[in-house]
Chain A
Amino acid sequence: MITTSKKVIDEISFGLLSPEKIRKMSATRVITPDTYDEDGFPIEMGLMDTRLGVIEPGLRCKTCGQNVRECPGHFGHIELAMPIIHVGFVKTIFNIMKATCRGCGKLLLTDKEVEKLREDYKKIVEMGESTAYFAKEVAKMAVKVERCPHCGRENLPVELDKPTTFREAGHKMTPAEVREWMEKVSEALGKDLLLLDINPEVARPEWMILTVLPVPPVTTRPSITLETGERSEDDLTHKLVDIIRINQRLQENRDAGAPQLIVEDLWELLQYHVTTYFDNQTAGIPPARHRSGRALKTLAQRLKGKEGRFRSNLSGKRVNFSSRTVISPDPNISINEVGIPIRVARELTVPIKVNAHNIEKMKELVRRGPSPEPPAGVVYIPGVNYVIRPDGRRIKVTKENASTVAERLEPGAIVERQLQDGDIVLFNRQPSLHRMSMMAHKAKILPYSTFRLNLAVCPPYNADFDGDEMNLHVLQSEEARAEAEILMKVQEHILSPRFGGVIIGAIHDHVTGCFLLTYKNREFSREDAIRILSSAGYKGKVTGKMKGKEIFSKILPKGINLEYKAKACNGCEKCLKEKCPYDAYVVIKNGKLITGVIDEKSIGAFKGEIIEYITRKWGTEEARSFIDRLTKLAIAAIMTIGFTTGIDDEDIPEEAQLQIREQLEKAKKKIQQLIRAYNEGELEQIPGRSLEETLEMEIMRVTGKARDQTGEIASKHLGMDNSAVIMARSGARGSMLNLSQMAGCVGQQAVRGERIRRGYKNRTLTHFKKGDLGAEAKGFVSSSYKNGLTPTEYFFHSMGGREGLVDTAVRTSRSGYMQRRLINALENIKLEEDGTVRTTTGEIVQFVYGEDGVEPMRSIRGKAVNLDLIIKEVANE
């Protein structure tokens, strides 16, 4: 048993290590830059000295006498030949210099002013506010002083030459001189150091200039042995080698009385090495590099950023009982399920406690071993990987020992059973931007190597199958499983808290399928109707031919009443409702689709009215079952009817091509006219715009109109017999704009919302005359995607496209950082049972959650109730 004692952290204080302290905690002084001798043994007083800890099995630590696993490692130290400035404290040193006199070390303020500062400081401490800015204020006051009020020395301006060089009135100060100054300051100020935000009890200013450098234990910088037998040292060790080498040379040269210039050069070099040892990304100096050209990872790099200790090892960790692989679709599993490859299922386990009631079952399970042979007709049965005995011993179950382990199984043991159908698992896709990025699924063990998921859950995960990978976590306790099932199951997320509408629903072919099924109420033969309905799990009788709307009605729950405008609605001025000529007004009465075509608005993710209604009225279980039936019905329908799309969907007749070309010619002429008017000064200026801006706006308007018109001409020849149009109109995929760009003309390309103008002097490309303001010269693409772009058009199109790419790249990184900051700021705010929102310390943030107390997920598109619907339902009864 491991015993733990409860200790509460009361206070953390930060201070500086004094040279004496560094020497005292040091296990040895390090003097040689070499690490190992010819026999591969660590050299004494070298960087790998066994007094600093051991990393090789078999060796014992000379300091604590323990071996590899036990010895925590011990610090050593390097005696620096000359003082070196610590980069991390340059700003603090600079601030002290500004605030104090180099002659006497006192604050450059009169005694009266200092007395006032002491009082101010006391007040700030009493109010519990940060004293961090106080020191800066003191320095600000002091720099203006011309002469020290205490010793009368002139106050010369100090400059900081980044990263570590200080100058007084232009003269370079050596670190030794800086240290001297700091010594004077701590001598003269004593307790008043607090005014400079330094606690004299734990830190003295001169300690910010190093005379002794601590050498971290070898355990923090272990060397690795490559396959070739070659030793490869840690980056920190490399850096320390550099420091010791230069330190040695500096010492020798100084002791031999070498010329000042040489000593200073070496001193600066040592400063460089120590600086990069702390932070190899210090601004103003080149980073130290490996022989291969890779920048070294030194102390700051170990901690900082995404790959640093904090974000990568402390805030986030790798976990057991998890798995990651490529995802692929499976229309035959429920939205609540996830398909798991057999190989993954054999690796992931669920712990089961053995008791008097299940012991026989568990024995049978253990007897199977880790890779049982499934009986004929079954693809998979779970085995057992480990058994944990009541005494805590973990036994690996193998084919050989399975039966003996099973026999010895007793109540209190834990059997780690392999995954089986129905186990609750968490499924996740990064980036985990909202709660629907991690949902609970029921496991379904399947052959092959990918995770399988129902297509209707792609929208919440934002997943597609172009190589996306997802993570899976197996829950290990009853509590976790219960919580996941109640709060995290997929069906509990059909309604999104983002906008209070559905997020799990039909996509792509599901939408097309339902559209084709119900559009113009197509008739189906009895056989086709049976095929479609049976695949959706319909159990009733089919007696003869059936209409599409009738078939769709069969999967609707009884008692559903809805009325709304479909996606196909043209937004006519006066809606004819049931008599809509486009069949875009959906009426469902008592579970029967009377009029209207089923499209994205009815069943789609983000929009689906029917799904939303069912979820609200009958709950998530009914909604899940509806989505499962719906997707299967839609797939059966689209396969029965047949559907395909290809490049010839964008074919338009010769005469339409001609019309389009005519329109474009007209537009180009119009632009020429505008330019002529502009040149002759006849262009009428738009108020608040310059003449140039007016011209640009007019031209943009003409080009925009030209594209729309060509689109219209193209659309005229792209009817509802066209697959691409069906997809666009039903909301399955693509838009009419996409189509008109493919068939008609791509249109004006823009960078920063303007016609393209960058490139050469007074022109975009050398293909055009200087000062040409015409359509072609400024990025108008009159070709269609299908006919192909000219080289200049292609170039302009790439410019516009590149801007889009850059924008998204910038946006994602910025919103990512923004989200991180929000999460860190809000992570300990909680909704209490009384409806208030409070911090962990009990401070109230909101008196009623969100002002209205409405949970967005249970809201109706953000509102607490849908009055219209309630009135309608009450009126009907």
Chain B
Amino acid sequence: MKFDILKHKLVPHHEILKEKEVEKLLRTYNIRKENLPRILTTDPVVQAIGAKEGDVIKIVRESPTAGTSVAYRLVVSKGIE
């Protein structure tokens, strides 16, 4: 039995954004995908949710000051540029 890291209390909620949602996100912030913060394909959570290079992941964290905080990350294979 493998331990499900997604259920660990220190691992925040990760989800892969759909194409449409990504477009909307990029429009909201008026950015290109490369301007997003990154996460490696080798990251355990990325592998656990099955994200591929180029996907955008939405992360919802609990925050002591803001209740919940949302962040987005672009999945990359190794540092880009």
Contacts and interface: CB of A to CB of B under 8 A. Distances in A.
B24 interface: no
B79 A847 contact: no
Interface in A335-356: none
Contacts of A129: 78-79
Contacts, number: 47
Interface stretch (A208-216, A258-266, A662-670, A850-858): A850-858
Nearest to A834: B29
Contact of B65 (A836, A841, A862): A862
Contacts of B34: 843
Contacts of A850: 65
A809 interface: no
A850 B71 CA distance: 12
A842 interface: yes
A848 B78 contact: no
A844 to B, nearest CB: 6
Given A128-B79, A834-B29, A851-B69, A845 B37 contact: yes
B69 A852 contact: yes
Given A842-B35, A843-B37, A844-B31, A127 B78 contact: yes
Interface in A120-141: 127-129
B66 A847 contact: no
A847 B65 contact: no
Contacts of A844: 29, 31, 35-37
Contacts of B29: 834, 836, 844, 847
Interface in A822-877: 834, 836, 838, 841-848, 850-854, 862-863
8 contacts: A128-B80, A834-B29, A847-B29, A847-B69, A847-B72, A851-B63, A851-B65, A851-B66
Given A127-B78, A128-B80, A853 B66 contact: yes
B81 interface: yes
Contact of A127 (B36, B66, B79): B79
B10 interface: no
- The secondary-structure label for the interface of chain A is loop
Contact of B69 (A128, A841, A848): A848
B70 interface: yes
Interface in B51-81: 61, 63, 65-66, 69-72, 78-81
A839 B70 CA distance: 19
B19 to A, nearest CB: 20
> On chain A, which size bracket covers the interface?
20 to 34
B66 A852 contact: yes
Contacts of A841: 35
A850 B64 CA distance: 11
A851 to B, nearest CB: 4
> On chain B, which size bracket covers the interface?
10 to 19
A843 B66 contact: no
Interface of A: 127-129, 834, 836, 838, 841-848, 850-854, 862-863
A128 B81 contact: yes
Contact of B66 (A836, A838, A845, A848): A848
A854 B81 CA distance: 33
B23 to A, nearest CB: 16
Nearest to B65: A852
Contacts of B61: 851
Contacts of A834: 29
A846 B66 CA distance: 13
B31 A852 contact: no
Given A127-B78, A851-B69, 15 more contacts: A127-B79, A128-B79, A834-B29, A836-B29, A838-B35, A843-B36, A844-B29, A844-B36, A848-B66, A848-B70, A851-B61, A851-B65, A852-B65, A852-B69, A863-B65
Nearest to A838: B35
A615 B71 CA distance: 34
Contacts of A851: 61, 63, 65-66, 69
A241 B58 CA distance: 67
Nearest to A129: B79
Given A127-B79, A129-B79, A842 B65 contact: no
List of 3 A-B pairs having minimum Cβ-Cβ separation, nearest first: A852-B66, A851-B69, A852-B65
A834 B35 CA distance: 15
Contacts of A836: 29
A852 B63 contact: yes
Nearest to A123: B78
Nearest to A851: B69
A844 B35 CA distance: 6
B14 to A, nearest CB: 15
Nearest to B36: A844
A169 B16 CA distance: 59
Nearest to A848: B69
A28 B72 CA distance: 62
Contact of A843 (B35, B63, B70): B35
Nearest to A847: B71
Nearest to B72: A847
Contact of A847 (B70, B80, B81): B70
Interface string B17-52: 000000000000101001111000000000000000
Nearest to B78: A127
A843 B70 CA distance: 16
Contact of A854 (B37, B65, B72, B78): B65
Contacts of A852: 63, 65-66, 69
Nearest to A863: B65
Nearest to B32: A842
A113 B81 CA distance: 28
A852 to B, nearest CB: 3
A486 B81 CA distance: 40
Nearest to B66: A852
Contact of B31 (A842, A848, A853, A862): A842
A180 B70 CA distance: 61
Contacts of B37: 843-845
B41 to A, nearest CB: 13
Contacts of B72: 847
